[in-house]
């Protein structure tokens, strides 16, 4: 649906920072529903105020083409990390898997609990929680990405009854059937992600989306401890509860799922996950060259956003940390919104 660009937001006196710009693919620019989905995603992202979510910095348009700007997270997606570990025949440390899942549960709960100005819940459901949409930073952070197919009250576009959106291999059964979904669909998807972290094996993947959905709805779920015998039985039960096909039998919220994981980690005295993640990322990837944090000199006045600019360089959201700025071609400067 969309293209991602690495960009540099440039301010006064050499102040700059890396950001990511998201825009529609050229063949979708004439579709009003696609433009509305991009704007809906940006408006939702602007509400985020959580360490594990990427906040939207700006929403604007150029020549009628909408785009938005968000924070850049140097690192790699979880799917890439698991693939590298699988190639090395190395397991992901259990403490780290639980840490990542706990952070994601916290992010989801924040999104699920978002309210409008009148105090009413927006009813947000991500609907696309997957290993591809989890970003692990070089500094040990965990970020949930891409609310592009999220559902919330007040959207300008709505999914029709019977339609499905999201990655088929991470859908909840009710999502596969095209039924109404709530936050428990994201709990199921997070259960899949955690299962795949502790086993480094795909759970419902198949050769096509239809077969994946059949597996989601009918395939027996082998307890992860069968694949990884050292798995604590309590973690086995937590994962299998999240993967209950009946939503009423799952954790009722991402918060209760996360709380169960936190209690498990405390009971095993597992070390701080952030430092473990930093060491893992350092062992898998060469740390990229990044500009120093921008500092505004004392006595200077901040430049209005209308006077700032963003230098745009096309890239897929990097799956491996590299020095993108040194290798990508220069593009014209595009002004940010005031």
For residue range 96-150, what is the model confidence (pLDDT) as tens digits? Answer: 999 999 999 999 999 999 988 888 889 999 999 999 999 999 999 999 998 877 7
Strand order through the sheet with 309-314: 56-62, 65-71, 16-24, 2-10, 309-314, 333-335
Cβ-contact 156, 39 below 8 angstroms: yes
Residues of the chain with confidence (pLDDT) below 50: 160-162, 289-310, 312-338
Give the pLDDT of residue 157.
52
Return the pLDDT at 319: 35
pLDDT at 152: 73
- pTM for the full predicted model: 0.80
pLDDT at 155: 55
What are residue 71's phi and psi, to 5 degrees?
-65, 145
Which among 40, 128, 146, 186 is annotated as catalytic?
128
Q: Which three-class secondary structure state does DSSP give residue 322?
A: coil
How far is it, in rounded angstroms, from Cα 144 to Cα 110? 11
| Integer angstrom CA distances of residue 210 from 5, 213, 247, 286 | 31, 5, 21, 38
The pLDDT score that the predictor gives to residue 92 is 95
The pLDDT value given to residue 273: 85
> Is 128 a catalytic site residue?
yes
Nearest to 126 by CA among 104, 103, 156, 141: 104
């Amino acid at each position: 649906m969309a293209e991602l660009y690495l960009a540099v937001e440039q301010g006064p006196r050499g102040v700059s920072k890396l950001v990511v710009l998201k825009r529609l693919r050229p063949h979708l620019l004439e579709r009003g529903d696609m433009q509305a989905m991009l704007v809906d995603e940006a408006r939702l992202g602007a509400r985020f105020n959580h360490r594990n979510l990427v906040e939207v910095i700006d929403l604007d348009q150029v020549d009628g083409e909408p785009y938005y700007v968000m924070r850049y997270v140097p690192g790699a997606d979880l799917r890439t990390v698991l693939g590298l570990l699988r190639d090395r025949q190395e397991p992901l440390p259990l403490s780290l898997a639980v840490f990542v899942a706990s952070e994601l549960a916290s992010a989801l709960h924040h999104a699920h609990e978002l309210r409008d100005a009148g105090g009413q819940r927006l009813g947000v459901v991500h609907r696309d929680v997957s290993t591809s949409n989890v970003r692990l930073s070089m500094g040990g952070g965990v970020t949930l990405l891409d609310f592009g197919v999220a559902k919330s009250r007040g959207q300008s576009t709505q999914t029709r009854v019977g339609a499905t959106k999201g990655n088929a291999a991470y859908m909840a059964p009710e999502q596969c059937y095209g039924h109404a979904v709530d936050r428990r669909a994201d709990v199921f998807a997070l259960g899949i992600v955690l299962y795949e972290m502790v086993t480094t094996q795909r759970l419902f993947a198949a050769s096509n989306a239809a077969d994946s959905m059949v597996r989601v709805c009918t395939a027996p779920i082998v307890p992860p401890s069968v694949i990884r015998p050292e798995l604590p039985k309590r973690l086995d039960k937590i994962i299998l509860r999240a993967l209950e096909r009946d939503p009423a039998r799952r954790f009722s919220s991402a918060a209760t799922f996360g709380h169960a994981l936190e209690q498990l980690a405390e009971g095993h005295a597992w070390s701080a996950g952030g430092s473990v993640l930093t060491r893992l990322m350092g062992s898998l990837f060469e740390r990229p060259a990044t500009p120093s944090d921008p500092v505004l000199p004392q006595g200077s006045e901040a430049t209005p956003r209308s006077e700032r600019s963003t230098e745009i360089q096309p890239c897929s959201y990097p799956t491996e940390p590299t020095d993108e700025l040194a290798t990508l071609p220069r593009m014209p400067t595009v002004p940010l919104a005031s």
